[in-house]
Amino acid sequence: MDAPSRGNAVRWIGPYSLRTERHLGGLPRSTDGTRFGDSRQGTLRGEGRCRRRVPEPSGVLRRLFLRRYPGHMADAPKVITAEELDAMSPNQRAQVVREHIVTDLDHLPEAFRQRVETTAARLAEQLRPVTE
């Protein structure tokens, strides 16, 4: 087959665009193509199960999703249990913690932000050398 020209490059890089989408944080792709898969895959291979809409026990999908892709579900922080952390690899744990770092004190609830500021001021006061 001839090498692709610039004109049909989009068609040629199709599979790679899927990979890119995954790397950029798109929906995870399952190995069996039935759940959490790419929508095209789901339509072709998991149609029956998708259409039946088998109800899942409450929270199961959310937990599975968050375990593999922590931080992608919503902006609101989700507390992870110690058991869930136990099941993670050290790298996964580190990634989860990094994703939960707060970058602006204004994003904190007012009460906690005030507590943080008050405590910091108190600690700084204790650290200052005593001068006559």
Partner 1 sequence: MSPRRQVRVAPSFFDRLDDLLPADRSPTGVPSTADFLLHELPPLIDLLAVDYEAATLAVEDVPEVRVLVASGVLITRLALYVVLADDDSVEIIYLEIDHEL
Contact yes or no for 42/34 (Cβ under 8 A)? yes
By CB under 8 A, tell whether 100 contacts partner 1.
yes
By CB under 8 A, tell whether 115 contacts partner 1.
yes
By CB under 8 A, tell whether 64 contacts partner 1.
no
CA angle (29, 33, 35) in 5-degree steps: 70
* Smallest distance from partner 1 to CB 109, Å: 7
Based on CB atoms, which residue is closest to partner 1, 49 or 78? 78
Out of 82, 110, 131, 132, the residue judged to bind partner 1 by CB under 8 A: 82
What distance in Å separates the CA atoms of residue 97 and residue 91, rounded to the nearest whole number?
10
CA atoms within 13 A on the CB side of 54: 9
What distance in Å separates the CA atoms of residue 77 and residue 72, rounded to the nearest whole number?
10
Stretch that binds partner 1, among 18-26, 37-45, 46-54, 112-120 (CB under 8 A): 112-120
Out of 2, 32, 104, 110, the residue judged to bind partner 1 by CB under 8 A: 104
Contact yes or no for 11/1 (Cβ under 8 A)? no
Stretch that binds partner 1, among 21-29, 38-46, 51-59, 100-108 (CB under 8 A): 100-108
Q: Determine whether 113 is exposed, middle or buried from the number of CB atoms within 10 Å of its CB (0-12, 13-18, 19+).
A: middle
Structure tokens at 19: 């990979």
Would you tell me which residues interact with partner 1 (CB under 8 A)? 77-82, 85-86, 90, 93-94, 96-98, 100-105, 108-109, 111-112, 115-117, 119-121, 123-124, 127-128
